[in-house]
Structure 1
């Protein structure tokens, strides 16, 4: 029987999937996890397969019982790639901020239930949105 003090990768993935549609399992590796959120459509008049979105993505790296996170915001382009970009529209920034903060609260709860710690990456001190560790 596996102790909750050392959850397996499978247990982490299962718990992260319960948070919502943010985890991208195909982009995860053994001790690294990838999450994202397509928060605001750039142009709804474009065909769905060619739409671009403003949003955020997060990389989470496991280091024993610690999970180190790093968020970024930008554009999810029509090729399916995230591009780091500054966003000048206040309503877009607010939408991204709302979804990111809500997700982060769910993530904090999940991590505490797994008896692990959630720690910001050192690069998070330059992140433009307010995230509480």
Structure 2
């Protein structure tokens, strides 16, 4: 007999996702859709903090029936507070990939262990190495 996965409530999921670290953008998340981002590498740390831009990644995690699809994107978080799809400079790639891979493994482990939910990469997701 196959086991049917029951997706937990939105609020229970939020509690678990918050525990993964500072990446969850709770105010931009809603039931079935969760937004995460990581400001991995400062573009120019000589600028004042409110004007700084960062290289990093963001994730749109969408519920698809009894699993989640992860759409990762990479780029620059600009001084307007917006993500822009942009290739990473070579000096930022290793750090951004390391942080993303660590986060992704934690996400997979938590969802599998706590809820028996799988995560698949979305067709439009960026591949990290």
Aligned length: 124
- The whole-number CA distance in structure 2 between the counterparts of 1:56 and 1:96 is 7
Q: Is 1:73 the equivalent of 2:74?
A: yes
What per-residue deviation string (whole Å, max 9, x for no partner) do you get for residues 32-60 of structure 1? 00000000001111111111000000000
- The whole-number CA distance in structure 1 between the counterparts of 2:87 and 2:7 is 38
User: In the alignment, which residue of structure 2 is the partner of 1:85?
Assistant: 86
User: In the alignment, which residue of structure 2 is the partner of 1:101?
Assistant: 101
User: In the alignment, which residue of structure 1 is the partner of 2:128?
Assistant: 129
Shift of 1:128: 4.3
Q: Which runs of 5+ in 2 are unaligned?
A: none
- The whole-number CA distance in structure 1 between the counterparts of 2:62 and 2:6 is 17
- The whole-number CA distance in structure 2 between the counterparts of 1:73 and 1:6 is 28
**Partner SS state of residue 44, structure 1:** coil
User: In the alignment, which residue of structure 2 is the partner of 1:10?
Assistant: 11
User: In the alignment, which residue of structure 2 is the partner of 1:25?
Assistant: 26
TM (norm. structure 1) is: 0.88
What per-residue deviation string (whole Å, max 9, x for no partner) do you get for residues 112-131 of structure 1? 0211110111123xx2423x
**Partner SS state of residue 97, structure 2:** helix
User: In the alignment, which residue of structure 2 is the partner of 1:53?
Assistant: 54
After TM superposition, where is structure 1 displaced by more than 6 Å over at least 4 residues in a row? none
